[in-house]
């Protein structure tokens, strides 16, 4: 069973972050530049939230707020669901499904060491299933 730390080894553990007092437009620009759907919100060294494209569309666009003057803190999700590096892909899939979220910050020793997305989890699941199928086919053809 693959663990989150294995996913981070494969994709890299780069963390894209924004400060809570940054204007939303800065967060959106960074998401576009890095081709990601969410950023962790860090104050000092502490994780204080997560902001996603979904937060932007629902809390800025649909409420006719300004991206230039609205701080990230006003639209971020403050109650962040996180996982440890030893969490399994299955546990993370369950968390994403049950919590209706798409991004999981990975915490180790009180700091963010990476982020896994639902896309990363699906990709890992498909890879594991493909490996199992290949092993079974090899066994059957034996």
CATH assignment of the domain containing 133: 3.10.580.10
Residues whose CB falls within 8 Å of the CB of residue 71, separated by 6 or more in sequence, listed in order: 20, 21, 22, 23, 24
Q: Which two tokens stand for residue 107?
A: 């915490």
Query: Quick check: helix, strand or coil at residue 136?
Result: helix
Query: Quick check: helix, strand or coil at residue 63?
Result: coil
Q: Where are the beta strands (DSSP E) in 15-96?
A: 17-18, 38-43, 46-52
Model confidence over 31-86: pLDDT tens digits?
999 999 999 999 998 999 999 999 999 999 989 999 999 999 999 999 999 999 99
Report how many domains make up the chain.
Answer: 1
* Overall pTM > 0.95: no
DSSP bridge partners of 51: 39
Model confidence over 20-32: pLDDT tens digits?
999 999 999 999 9
Q: Provide the domain limits for residue 111.
A: 4-141
């Amino acid at each position: 069973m693959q663990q989150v730390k294995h996913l981070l080894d494969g994709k890299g553990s780069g963390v894209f972050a924004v400060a809570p007092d940054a204007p939303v437009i800065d967060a959106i620009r960074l998401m576009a530049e890095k081709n990601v759907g969410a950023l962790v919100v860090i104050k000092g060294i502490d994780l204080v939230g997560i902001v996603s494209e979904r937060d932007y569309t629902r809390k800025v666009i649909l409420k006719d707020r300004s991206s230039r003057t609205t701080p990230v803190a006003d639209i971020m999700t403050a109650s962040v669901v996180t996982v440890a590096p030893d969490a399994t892909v299955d546990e993370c899939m369950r968390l994403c499904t049950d919590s209706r979220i798409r991004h999981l910050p990975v915490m180790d020793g009180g700091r963010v060491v990476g982020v896994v997305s639902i896309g990363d989890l699906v990709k890992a699941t498909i890879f594991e299933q493909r490996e199992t199928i290949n092993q079974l086919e090899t066994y059957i053809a034996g």
